[in-house]
Amino acid sequence: MMNFVLVVLVVVVVVVVIDGCSGQQAYVNNKQLDCYKNYSNTGGYLCNNGADVSSCLSYLTFRSTPIYNSAATIGYLLSADPSQIAQINNISDVDTLPSDTLLIVPTNCSCNNNNTYYQHNASYVLKTTSETYFTVSNNTYQGLTTCQSMMAQNPYNYRDLLVGMKLTAPLRCACPTSNQTHAGFTYLLTYLVTWRDTISLIAHRFRSDESSILDANQLSSDDIVFPFTPILVPLKTKPTKIDSAVSPPPPPTPPTLATVPVGNQSTSSSKGVFIGVGVGGVVLLLFALAGFLFWFFRRRPNRHGQPVPDTSPPTTPPKGAVSYTTALPDSKSWSVSPEGVRYAVGSLTVYKYEELEKGTAFFREDNRIKGSVYMGSFKGDKAAVKVMKGNVSEEINILKQINHSNIIRLSGLCVHDGNTYLVYEYADNGSLADWLLRSKKKGQSQSLGWKQRVQIAYDVADALNYLHNYATPPYIHKNLKSSNILLDGELRAKLANFGLARSIREDQDLQLTRHVVGTYGYMAPEYIDNGLVTPKLDVYAFGVVILELLSGSETGNAIQKKRNGQDEEEEELLSASISQVLGGENVREKLRGFMDPSLSNEYPLDLAYSLAQLANKCVAHPINSRPPISEVFVILSKILSSSMDWDSSSYEVDPFT
Ligand SMILES: *[C@@H]1O[C@H](CO)[C@@H](O)[C@H](O)[C@H]1NC(C)=O
Ligand SMILES: *[C@@H]1O[C@H](CO)[C@@H](O)[C@H](O)[C@H]1NC(C)=O
Ligand SMILES: *[C@@H]1O[C@H](CO)[C@@H](O)[C@H](O)[C@H]1NC(C)=O
Ligand SMILES: *[C@@H]1O[C@H](CO)[C@@H](O)[C@H](O)[C@H]1NC(C)=O
Ligand SMILES: *[C@@H]1O[C@H](CO)[C@@H](O)[C@H](O)[C@H]1NC(C)=O
Ligand SMILES: *[C@@H]1O[C@H](CO)[C@@H](O)[C@H](O)[C@H]1NC(C)=O
Ligand SMILES: *[C@@H]1O[C@H](CO)[C@@H](O)[C@H](O)[C@H]1NC(C)=O
Ligand SMILES: *[C@@H]1O[C@H](CO)[C@@H](O)[C@H](O)[C@H]1NC(C)=O
């Protein structure tokens, strides 16, 4: 009995000592995204890091893609032996694998000739002009190598890459250190982290333990790991075919809160049982939240809008007006640091200032789209570059978490000289406001047709519905107006400018603000009067946008010149004029008069009437009379499908007879 206790104690002590020993190889920590800077951990895993051997058998992992989808093609890409790949994964050489099958690839790993890094050399011939050191290392090799190490080991400057060039891809691998050997580990496997991974999931998958993985990568348990980065997994025996071969596909929306793993630890195929992601997601979200708190306390007036003087919140706010469920953690006292921005970067491209200068021709005047937004061209792709002063982590954090085809995508950023440069997807057709203005000036050759207008309204409703009901956490855009609705090459709408957006928090039924900012004409009355912030704010503004689409009203202020009489002209808010149009006598004439003349009667009056009614509901003054965006979206989808069937030459249904 005594002996047994002693043995247990010794084992515990030994385990603790081994666990406590210092780390071996530094994790890349997302530094591989910053291609034009050398970091100590991006070159590769170091040879002289306590290892006894200069070469060994090691294992890489690779996820099959539509191009590299068999042992033969993957072996070719990774300079590995296809028959060994086939054997270890229990497939044949030429089996075509479903995409995203996680494969184990045995390779020889050795120190390169300068005795600096362990690596397995693969070679890759450039196939298209759009390939760069970054895309080859991140996308083709899935993070098995880094752009920094490729740049260091290839003679070509990144600007001089040409199709047909043969590049060395030093794939990251490592041999066990003497400490790992003593602990019984014989191999190191280079695993590629993907969405939803956690260290414990990885440990479970390879029957390893968490602490030795943390140790092997110089990580501590509260560090974050990022998708598309390699991590070393120490193994005691040769790995075998991975059971849950197909990893979960990347989520449609970026990381949500990590939930406690619900997978029963006794099953090895825990595929699909994890909701959310690992520590990375949590920290990201916390930083997002921190960004919000920061922004909440020091917001500046919107440069483009017309600030309205501060108003005090009412003493007894109406209770229970709105309530939402979100996955946001309780607010804690987090502070925003430059690190926060770094974590926020995630999968965004980090540009060098010189690249931006080159892409925008030194921010030349004729590349200026509007205000501080410039058109740029990067690797042949057009982009919009927005120059912003001060802290913009809130907008970055929001757009990073949002993934919707009707919301403008943020693709990269650059911080230089106190300014932040945000690089967005480019919308070829500019803003809706410009279109409406142009149709006034140039006549109908440049104006939007009925179907296009309905499509735009539908797209915006889709985006808002996503923001209010499906994003985690949900958001209120707060600054919806036609100049923030951009149109792509197909005239499909994309919502932009999230500088004022804020998340909907579950711990409060409603939110009040003392700083009422926005654009007159689009702001809901309860917001102007009381600073009340609810998603119905967006519904109101959306109603105004529909009215603009119908009437072709001037941009920005959403004010229509009231045509009463011949020469008398009076300015009136669109939201006020629509109820007069739809009420009382002669609705048909009044509606025809309200509609954009540049449509020149080429629209179905019944559908125009339905749309006007919908807009009228959206701009209702009592907040509870306004429909939720989900309802608006459903109605719009009906109007859209009827509009698509509508043919301008067909018989006109008159709703008023
Ligand atoms: C990074 O290191 C490589 C060689 O080690 C060198 O050629 C390259 O210029 C370095 N890049 C930078 C930005 O320092
Ligand atoms: C190996 O472990 C010992 C303690 O057991 C530690 O002092 C040493 O730094 C470790 N070596 C390496 C390379 O991690
Ligand atoms: C390998 O695959 C075959 C079918 O292709 C199956 O019968 C066999 O059990 C598998 N072996 C292992 C070890 O999974
Ligand atoms: C490693 O090299 C040895 C000797 O050159 C060779 O026999 C073995 O097949 C190689 N292993 C792999 C996985 O390529
Ligand atoms: C891999 O490539 C590097 C540089 O391209 C070279 O120094 C090294 O010797 C190569 N390693 C092997 C095993 O061929
Ligand atoms: C070889 O390594 C040494 C340091 O260990 C470094 O100073 C030298 O630049 C390296 N040479 C090459 C060709 O990478
Ligand atoms: C890196 O590659 C993955 C696919 O392997 C891709 O999903 C991801 O967007 C890439 N990251 C960047 C910054 O392009
Ligand atoms: C795990 O499985 C065991 C027995 O198979 C069961 O008793 C236990 O409730 C399961 N746990 C979870 C979290 O499902």
Residues 206-262: tens digit of each pLDDT: 988 999 999 999 998 888 888 889 999 999 999 998 875 434 433 333 333 222 232
- Find the helix or strand (DSSP H, E) in which 3 lies: helix 2-20
| Pair 421, 462 in one domain | no
User: 191 CA distance to ligand 6 centroid (A)?
Assistant: 28
Q: Is 598 close to ligand 5, i.e. is its CB under 6 Å away?
A: no
For the CA of 170, the nearest ligand: 5
For the CA of 56, the nearest ligand: 4
| Pair 393, 534 in one domain | no
- Find the helix or strand (DSSP H, E) in which 234 lies: strand 230-235
| Pair 386, 530 in one domain | no
| Pair 408, 543 in one domain | no
For 457-460, which contacts have Cβ atoms below 8 Å and span 24 or more sequence positions? 457/545, 457/546, 457/549, 457/611, 457/636, 457/639, 457/640, 458/633, 458/636, 458/637, 458/639, 458/640, 459/406, 459/492, 459/493, 459/494, 460/406, 460/485, 460/493, 460/495, 460/542, 460/545
In a domain, 408, yes or no: yes
In a domain, 234, yes or no: yes
User: 123 CA distance to ligand 6 centroid (A)?
Assistant: 22
Which positions ≥6 away from 9 have C-beta within 8 Å? none
Q: Is 360 close to ligand 4, i.e. is its CB under 6 Å away?
A: no
Sign (positive or negative) of CA dihedral 390, 391, 395, 396: positive
Q: What pLDDT band is residue 270 in, cutting at 50, 70 and 90? A: very low
In a domain, 652, yes or no: no
Q: Is 264 close to ligand 8, i.e. is its CB under 6 Å away?
A: yes
Q: Is 484 close to ligand 5, i.e. is its CB under 6 Å away?
A: no
For the CA of 79, the nearest ligand: 4
Substitution site in 114, 115, 150 for ligand 6 pocket (most atoms within 8 Å of beta carbon):
114
| Pair 358, 283 in one domain | no
Q: Which of 339-353, 373-387, 441-455, 621-635 has the lowest mean pLDDT?
A: 339-353
Q: State the average pLDDT over residues 81-102.
A: 89
Q: Is 266 close to ligand 8, i.e. is its CB under 6 Å away?
A: yes
| Pair 133, 248 in one domain | yes
pLDDT of residue 648: 66
For 639-646, which contacts have Cβ atoms below 8 Å and span 24 or more sequence positions? 639/454, 639/457, 639/458, 639/607, 639/610, 639/611, 639/614, 640/454, 640/455, 640/457, 640/458, 642/604, 642/607, 643/450, 643/451, 643/454, 643/604, 643/607, 644/451, 646/450, 646/451, 646/604, 646/607
Q: Is 149 close to ligand 5, i.e. is its CB under 6 Å away?
A: no
pLDDT tens digits, residue range 405-439? 899 988 888 888 888 889 999 999 999 988 888 77
Q: Which of 372, 393, 426 is the last residue of a domain?
A: 426
In a domain, 282, yes or no: yes
Lining residues, ligand 1, CB within 6 Å: 36-38, 152
Q: Whose CA is nearest to atom 2 of ligand 3?
A: 90
Lining residues, ligand 6, CB within 6 Å: 114, 116
Q: Which of 264, 297, 330 is the last residue of a domain?
A: 297
User: Whole-number mean pLDDT of the chain?
Assistant: 76
| Pair 246, 123 in one domain | yes
Tokens of 66: 């539509």
Which positions ≥6 away from 427 have C-beta within 8 Å? 384, 408, 486, 487, 488, 494, 496
CA-to-CA distance for 582 and 585, rounded, in angstroms? Answer: 9
CA-to-CA distance for 447 and 141, rounded, in angstroms? Answer: 47
Substitution site in 116, 117, 154 for ligand 6 pocket (most atoms within 8 Å of beta carbon):
116
Substitution site in 119, 171, 175 for ligand 5 pocket (most atoms within 8 Å of beta carbon):
119
Residue 370 is given by DSSP the state E
Atom of ligand 4 nearest to the CA of 80: 14
Q: What pLDDT band is residue 35 in, cutting at 50, 70 and 90? A: confident
Percent above pLDDT 90 for the chain: 34
| Pair 416, 488 in one domain | no
| Pair 12, 102 in one domain | yes
User: 114 CA distance to ligand 6 centroid (A)?
Assistant: 6
Q: Is 139 close to ligand 7, i.e. is its CB under 6 Å away?
A: yes
The maximal CA–CA distance of the chain, rounded, in angstroms, is: 107
CATH code, domain with 550: 1.10.510.10
Atom of ligand 6 nearest to the CA of 114: 1
Substitution site in 113, 151, 157, 352 for ligand 1 pocket (most atoms within 8 Å of beta carbon):
151
The four Cα atoms 416, 418, 423, 424 give a dihedral, to 10 degrees, of 180
Give the total number of structural domains in the chain.
Answer: 3
Q: Whose CA is nearest to atom 2 of ligand 1?
A: 152
pLDDT of residue 513: 66
User: 179 CA distance to ligand 2 centroid (A)?
Assistant: 6
E strands, 390-483, in order: 410-416, 419-425, 475-476
Nearest to 541 by CA among 558, 564, 529: 558
Q: Whose CA is nearest to atom 7 of ligand 7?
A: 139
Whether pLDDT at 74 is above 60: yes
User: 444 CA distance to ligand 2 centroid (A)?
Assistant: 77
Atom of ligand 4 nearest to the CA of 81: 14
Q: Is 121 close to ligand 5, i.e. is its CB under 6 Å away?
A: yes
| Pair 289, 371 in one domain | no
Query: How many contiguous H segments (helices) and E segments (strands) does the chain have?
Result: 20, 21
In a domain, 435, yes or no: no
pLDDT of residue 441: 67
pLDDT tens digits, residue range 142-169? 999 999 999 999 999 888 888 788 899 9
| Pair 361, 222 in one domain | no
pLDDT tens digits, residue range 168-185? 999 999 999 988 999 999
In a domain, 324, yes or no: no
CB 24 within 8 A of CB 183: no
> Whole domain around residue 180: which residue ranges?
2-297
In a domain, 253, yes or no: yes
In a domain, 333, yes or no: no
